[in-house]
Amino acid sequence: ITGHADRLTQVITNLLLNAAQAIREGEASLNRILVETREADDSLFVSVSDTGSGIAPNHVSQLFEPFFTTKGAGEGTGLGLALCADIVHRHGGEISVESAKGKGSRFTIRFPKDTGLKRSPVHSRPPQGAAARRLRLLIIDDEPLLLRAYERMLARTHDVEVALGGEAGLKVLRARQDFDLILCDLMMPDCDGPSVYQALSQEAPELLERLHFCSGGAFTQRVTDFLTRVGRPVLEKPLNQARLSRLLDERGNT
């Protein structure tokens, strides 16, 4: 096949990591992870299987949705498999999963031979739930993986700019203030969400009503007091795609 070696390596690496995480600690010698390849007339297949914990049947259909995860808090963002699926689809391929709870899982990727990257038509149909108009979004977060995922998910239907950390976000906002929506992580080192809010309240207060916070963990007392005082919305991380779509719909119709 023709494709991006780094991206394809990312897919296989992520599947291997998922397989390793499916095996309980202390039971490595009792389980196995197997990588297999095979060739058909017009396709190449790669599969990664494990004999780990498996996946509940009601979760299998959701595995490739952005931000869906079966892992506990702090163990994953629910982005890995969604990114894998996106990369595979861009290469014209397909990814599927077979799993039995308590017995393990098998992820299989099919690539067409020598077709190169899949190119989406310029006038492709927007995803269901797309906002009524194209919005200008700024996303501020200190996690590069999340920023890349947001860009991938939203860039086809909106103009997305990302900033790695609060200081970078403020630098963007000092240069331009025409964003329809600003999503800002609450808990960041050095310059956190409250610090971004405080700076905007002094420099560009008209942007505050466009500011929504995101958070993936417990708040400090300072942040709790801040949220009570300012009353800005907080979206729980990992972001729920349905809620994010509703928010974009609301902004797009105003």
In tens, the pLDDT along 213-228 reads 988 766 678 888 898 8
Helix (H), strand (E) at residue 38? strand 33-39
Percent of the chain with pLDDT over 70: 83
Residues of the chain with CATH 3.30.565.10: 5-112
CATH class of 5-112: alpha beta
Overall residue count recorded for the chain in this entry? 254
Q: How many angstroms separate the CA atoms of 123 and 214, rounded? A: 32
Tell me: pLDDT of 153 over 90: no
CA 217, distance to chain mean position in Å, is 17
What does the alpha-carbon distance between residue 69 and residue 79 come to, in Å, rounded to a whole number? 8
- In angstroms, the CA 95 to CA 13 distance is 15
The DSSP element (H or E) to which 36 belongs, if any, is strand 33-39
Here the tokens at position 103 are 């017995």
* Overall average pLDDT of the 231-236 stretch: 86
C-alpha 250/C-alpha 183 separation (Å) is 15
Confidence tier at 34 by pLDDT (50, 70, 90): very high
How many CA atoms does the CB half-sphere of 30 hold within 13 Å?
Answer: 10
3-state secondary structure of 207: helix
The first and second tokens of residue 189, run together, are 């080192």
pLDDT for residue 70 = 60
The average pLDDT across 34-51 equals: 94
pLDDT value at 129 more than 50 = no
Q: Count CA atoms closer than 13 A to 251's CA, side-chain side.
A: 21
Nearest one of 87, 102, 92 to 44, comparing CA atoms = 92
Amino acid 91: pLDDT: 87
Express each pLDDT in 161-181 by its tens digit: 999 999 999 999 999 999 999
Whole-number Å distance between alpha carbons of 234 and 226: 12
pLDDT at 125: 41
For residue 75, pLDDT beyond 70: no
Chain centroid to Cα 199, Å, comes to 28
Cβ neighbours around 5 below 10 Å, total? 7
Query: Is residue 115 scored above 70 in pLDDT?
Result: no
Residue 49 falls in which region: left (phi positive, over 0), alpha (psi -120 to 50) or beta: beta
- Give span(s): CATH 3.40.50.2300, the chain: 136-252
- Which string of b and e fits 112-137 if b means at least 16 CB within 10 Å? eeeeeeeeeeeeeeeeeebbeeebbb
Q: What stretches of the chain show up as alpha helix (H) in DSSP?
A: 5-21, 57-60, 80-90, 144-154, 166-175, 193-203, 221-230, 241-252
pTM summary value? 0.54
CATH class of the region 136-252: alpha beta
Eight-state DSSP code of residue 28:
G
Mean model confidence pLDDT for the chain: 83
